[in-house]
């Protein structure tokens, strides 16, 4: 009578990641030790090193596992072309905060506060989704700042919002802060409607053209690169001019 086949490496890896995710969710980041994870998964500690290289590799795998559904949901929202780009951004902001509050241990490991020198692959994927949202705002002529500045401001404010809320017990959290901070950031980077006059009109026009440049027909790669350089210089000059008036 044939014996049961031993579990595959993929099965063992999935069991270890699942056990680590449960420990992180139930007991927080301090519980995510090699020995604790090995015991919870029913494997020897060397198995973890063989599969993940080190603890950082395990943390990265757990982050990928827990954030997979989250990032997929964000991507599907970006693909919803019928959604207003500002409403799309607000929905993504709320989803980001909800994820952080629901997964405080993982969020701490993924945030800069954990001492990471580089963002995790899961965090980088989320930023790319945010970048797509910002590009949609730029293409609609709604950005008052360049895309890079808008991306940095939204990402920093979103991370700060989650960390500020996590500092307090759940019962003491002011969830009105979520929309208030979004409105504060949006008020700085967004126009209520496409800008056609006033001090912001040049910046908005340049940012919009830069967002649409990849779709312009009839241009060679060299011409697109040259156009990108011209737009960057024009945007820098417009920013300098605005700063001088302020």
For the chain, domain boundaries: 7-53, 70-245
pLDDT (tens digit, 9 = 90+) per residue, 198-220? Answer: 556 667 667 776 777 777 777 78
- Position 113 scores a pLDDT of 46
Chain mean position to CA 189: 18
Identity of the highest mean pLDDT range in 33-37, 179-183, 217-221: 179-183
Cα–Cα distance, 237 to 200 (Å, whole number):
13
When pLDDT is averaged across residues 109-119 and rounded to a whole number, the result is 62
The rounded distance, in Å, linking the Cα atoms of 8 and 159 is 38
Give 240's pLDDT tier (boundaries 50, 70, 90): low
**E strand segments, 50-152:** none
- pLDDT at 171 > cutoff 70: yes
Count Cβ atoms within 10 A of the Cβ of residue 5 and give its class: 0-12 exposed, 13-18 middle, 19 or more buried: exposed
> Looking at domain 7-53, what is its CATH homologous superfamily?
Homeodomain-like (1.10.10.60)
Q: How many helices (H) and strands (E) does the chain have?
A: 11, 0
Burial of 119 (0-12, 13-18, 19+ CB in 10 A): middle
pLDDT band of residue 129 (cuts 50, 70, 90) is confident
Q: Residues 64-105: pLDDT tens digits? A: 888 776 666 656 554 554 568 899 899 889 988 988 998 888
Stretch 30-42: mean pLDDT: 90
- pTM of model > 0.85: no
Judge whether residue 119 has pLDDT over 80.
no
- 109 has a pLDDT exceeding 80: no
Count of Cβ atoms closer than 10 Å to residue 175 Cβ: 12
pLDDT of residue 230: 74
Q: Percentage of the chain with pLDDT > 90?
A: 30
Reported as a single tens digit per residue, the pLDDT across 53-74 is: 888 788 888 888 887 766 666 5
């Amino acid at each position: 009578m044939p014996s049961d086949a031993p579990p595959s490496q993929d099965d063992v890896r999935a069991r270890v990641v699942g056990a680590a995710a449960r420990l992180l969710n139930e007991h927080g980041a301090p519980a995510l030790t090699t020995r604790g994870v090995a015991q919870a998964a029913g494997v020897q500690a060397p198995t973890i090193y063989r599969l993940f290289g080190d603890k950082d590799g395990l943390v990265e795998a757990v982050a990928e596992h827990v954030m997979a559904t989250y990032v997929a949901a964000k991507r599907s929202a970006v693909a919803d072309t019928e959604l207003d780009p500002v409403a799309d951004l607000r929905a993504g902001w709320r989803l980001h905060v909800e994820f952080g509050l629901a997964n405080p241990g993982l969020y701490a490991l993924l945030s800069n506060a954990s001492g990471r020198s580089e963002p995790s692959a899961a965090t980088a994927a989320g930023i790319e989704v945010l970048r797509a949202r910002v590009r949609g705002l730029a293409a609609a002529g709604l950005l008052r700042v360049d895309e890079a500045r808008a991306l940095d401001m939204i990402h920093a404010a979103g991370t700060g919002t989650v960390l500020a809320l996590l500092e307090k017990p759940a019962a003491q959290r002011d969830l009105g802060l979520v929309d208030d901070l979004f409105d504060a950031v949006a008020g700085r980077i967004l126009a209520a409607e496409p800008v056609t006059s006033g001090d912001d009109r040049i910046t908005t026009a340049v940012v919009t053209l830069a967002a649409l440049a990849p779709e312009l027909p009839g241009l060679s790669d060299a011409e697109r690169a040259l156009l990108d350089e011209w737009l960057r210089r024009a945007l820098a000059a417009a920013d300098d001019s605005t700063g001088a008036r302020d």
